[in-house]
Amino acid sequence: MDQSIQNDLNAPHSMGTTIIGVTYNGGVVLGADSRTSTGVYVANRASDKITQLTDNVYLCRSGSAADSQIVSDYVRHFLHQHTIQLGHPATVKVAANLIRLFSYNNKNMLQTGLIIGGWDKYEGGKIYGVPLGGTILEQPFAIGGSGSTYLYGFFDQEWKEGMTKEEAEQLVVKAVSLAIARDGASGGVVRTVIINSEGVTRNYYPGDALPLWHEELEPQNSLLDILSSSSSGPDMMIS
Amino acid sequence: MSSIGTGYDLSVTTFSPDGRVFQIEYAAKAVDNSGTVIGIKCKDGVVMGVEKLIASKMMLPGSNRRIHSVHRHSGMAVAGLAADGRQIVARTKSEATNYESVYGEQIPVKELAERIASYVHLCTLYWWLRPFGCGIILGGYDRDGPQLYMVEPSGVSYRYFGAAIGKGRQAAKTEIEKLKLSELTCRQGVIEVAKIIYGIHDEAKDKEFELEMSWVCDESNRLHQKVPDELLEEAKAAAKAALEEMDAD
């Protein structure tokens, strides 16, 4: 038993993840969970998987944490150069294309599933999915990461064209929390980023702000509360 | 205006005492000796026309193209040394396709103009290269609308409403200035360009010429292409009629 824990601690950091990108009438909403795991150990329970590429384009990262970070760093650099040369903000399409060139040309070495979302004045809000092999696909919404397998049916049912900003964000938060409930590799908090013509808004939904599904326990703010609150401890201890 | 720079004009890497680089100015003279090339930006697109002086009666009409499409949305008309022009066109096409492979969208016309201008300027920096003996008129239609740029052998590039290079450029510019470009559609622009070129062609000094025209506008779906044959014929007929009117006076 010890040996397996040792192996896991040295395993590469993987973001078993749930990431989502959704267009709405006027922009996009990106959402993600916050769990970074090395095997069964949660290396970071509050990570930020939504990274900025430019003022108006953000990226949701899944797969290998290192790989997705390096790809986003490179692309941020090239996009910055491109913006200076062009004289005005880069379009979402250009950002997505640069991401997929990296993903495709280094496919043997990388393991990243990425969702690019942003707003530009020519096309409005756009979402591009760049999954493992380096395909690029423009979609009205995209889901990725290990938790997304539990969301395909949900989106088939709930997705609507032309939602409002509030509807879109609620959809994203609900979806991520559903995935967190079922996927062991997703968890923590839900982060969202809303991008539109007016700018960028980051939101944070801690565990106790999320709906519960099917007999889960209420989240506690601190272990101390559980310990100090009278005799019998919680029934969840199954050792 | 022009002077010989004895002693300071042997290399493109030599300045004269009054701050001029004579080799570049001589390159510009090569452009001035060529047939006139005109470009105008109308409200819905860009029209370009070339006065192709026919060197020999045995040449096939329609050969020796002077206007080239460098990408779906833009085209380039070259004046001056033809072989130099070929090189620049090849480079421009390459820049445009390379941009699209990397960035996933069509190269903005402004970016393309800047890249060619850099390339032309490059050849004025080294003693072992000579400047290009070409002037270029680049017309394109991108997300920011129709645009017209002109690149000179010095590597300078500006954006224009109307531009002319070559033998008859002074007369051409005067005629272009008379036009109300912001109200002209490309259809009308084509007729005007034909009239201008026919008007400035000097029958006495120059041999016969052939008119070549292209456009990129809403009507052509924002694609750069040769002006359609019937419109070209209509333009030529209108130009000849206008000439006769002038002669009749």
Q: Provide φ and ψ at A140, rounded to 5°.
A: -70, -30
Any residues with CB less than 8 A from the CB of A217 and at least 6 apart, and which?
Answer: A234, A236
> How does B169-183 read in b/e, with b if 16+ C-beta sit within 10 Å?
bebbbebbeebebee
- State pTM to two decimals: 0.85
Ranges of residues in chain A with a pLDDT under 70 are 1-15, 215, 217, 219-220, 229-239
Read off the pLDDT of each residue in B135-158 and give the average, rounded to a whole number.
95
**Least Cα separation, residue B38 to chain A (angstroms):** 27
Nearest to B105 by CA among A81, A73, A123, A132: A123
Any catalytic annotation for residue B185?
no
Residue B15 domain-assigned?
no
Structural domain boundaries enclosing B47? 22-54+64-248
Q: Which candidate in B6, B13, B14, B36 is catalytic?
A: B36
Residue B230 domain-assigned?
yes
Looking at the structure of chain B, the number of domains it has is: 1
Looking at the structure of chain A, the number of domains it has is: 1
Q: Measured between beta carbons, which residues in chain A are less than 8 angstroms from residue B159? A: none
- Cα A66–chain centre separation: 15
User: Within an 8 Å CB–CB cutoff, is residue A94 touching chain B?
Assistant: yes
Tell me the percentage of chain B whose pLDDT exceeds 90.
84
Separation of alpha carbons B234 and A157, rounded Å: 59
pLDDT digits (tens, 9 = 90+) for A141-176: 999 999 999 999 999 999 999 999 999 999 999 999
Structural domain boundaries enclosing A129? 12-230
Is the confidence at residue B4, as pLDDT, over 90? Answer: no
CATH number of residue B70's parent domain: 3.60.20.10
DSSP chain B: -----TTT-S-TT---TTS--HHHHHHHHHHHTSPPEEEEEETTEEEEEEEEE-S-TTSPTT-S--EEEEETTEEEEEEE-HHHHHHHHHHHHHHHHHHHHHHSSPPPHHHHHHHHHHHHHHTTS-TTS----EEEEEEEEETTEEEEEEE-TTS-EEE-SEEEESTTHHHHHHHHHHS-GGG--HHHHHHHHHHHHHHH--TTTS--EEEEEEEEEGGGTT--EEPPHHHHHHHHHHHHHHHHHHHH-
Q: According to the model, what pLDDT value does residue A13 have?
A: 63
**ipTM for the whole predicted complex goes beyond 0.95:** no
Q: According to the model, what pLDDT value does residue A234 have?
A: 53
DSSP B47-99: EEEEEEE-S-TTSPTT-S--EEEEETTEEEEEEE-HHHHHHHHHHHHHHHHHH
Residue B219 domain-assigned?
yes
Residue A237 domain-assigned?
no
Residue A141 domain-assigned?
yes
Is the confidence at residue B249, as pLDDT, over 70? Answer: no
Residue A5 domain-assigned?
no
Read off the pLDDT of each residue in B154-174 and give the average, rounded to a whole number.
95
Residue B9 domain-assigned?
no
Separation of alpha carbons A142 and A56, rounded Å: 18
pLDDT tier at B176, thresholds 50, 70, 90: very high
Q: According to the model, what pLDDT value does residue A209 have?
A: 83
- At A137 the three-state DSSP class reads strand
Q: According to the model, what pLDDT value does residue A238 have?
A: 45
Is the confidence at residue B56, as pLDDT, over 90? Answer: no
Are the beta carbons of B103 and A94 separated by less than 8 Å?
Answer: yes
Residue B5 domain-assigned?
no
Residue B210 domain-assigned?
yes
CATH number of residue A145's parent domain: 3.60.20.10
Contact B105, A93 (CB under 8 A): yes
Q: Nearest CB to A86: which of B102, B104, B108?
A: B108
Read off the pLDDT of each residue in B163-186 and give the average, rounded to a whole number.
94
